[in-house]
């Protein structure tokens, strides 16, 4: 159902952010961490996040040719509660001199 706003402008109803369910954002235990310093490695990233709970896996994504960090990575926790706390506490914080962004990881749609 569309809502009329006047002067020929209409607004489509907005879907609830929860309408797609949890599956729309991928795993609730895996976090994307962006804005990393190119010097940040996996042990440093793990150390920064371990205070929030048990970690299953940490990956810093590197360029295949140079071996240098691309400036982002992933942290996967054993529990959704630990991931949620880490997201809330670490998003916007400084790590290795750079303000990082933390979001729930999205599922990839194909690719190599």
Q: How far is residue 88 CA from its own chain's centroid? A: 11
Give the separation between CA 34 and CA 70, rounded to whole angstroms: 9
pLDDT at 74 over 50: yes
Torsion angles phi and psi, residue 73, rounded to 5: -165, -170
Q: Which domains does the chain have, with CATH numbers?
A: 23-104 (3.30.70.330)
8 A C-beta contact, residue 62 and residue 82: no
Q: Tell me, what's the pLDDT at 108? A: 76
Reduce the DSSP state of residue 56 to 3 states and report it.
strand
8 A C-beta contact, residue 24 and residue 60: no
User: Percent of the chain having pLDDT more than 90?
Assistant: 68
pLDDT at 18 over 80: no
| Full-model pTM | 0.73
Q: Which residue has the higher pLDDT, 1 or 47?
A: 47
Q: Tell me, what's the pLDDT at 86? A: 98
Q: Tell me, what's the pLDDT at 26? A: 54
């Amino acid at each position: 159902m569309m809502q009329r706003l006047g002067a020929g402008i209409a607004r489509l109803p907005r879907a609830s952010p929860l309408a797609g369910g949890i599956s729309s954002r991928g795993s609730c235990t895996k976090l994307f961490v962006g804005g990393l310093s190119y010097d940040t490695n996996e042990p440093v990233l793990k150390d920064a996040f371990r205070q929030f709970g048990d970690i299953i896996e940490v990956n810093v994504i590197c360029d295949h040719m140079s071996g240098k960090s691309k400036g982002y990575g992933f942290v996967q926790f054993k529990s959704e509660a630990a991931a949620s706390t880490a997201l809330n506490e670490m998003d916007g914080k400084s790590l290795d001199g750079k303000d990082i962004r933390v979001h729930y990881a999205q599922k990839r749609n194909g690719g190599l």
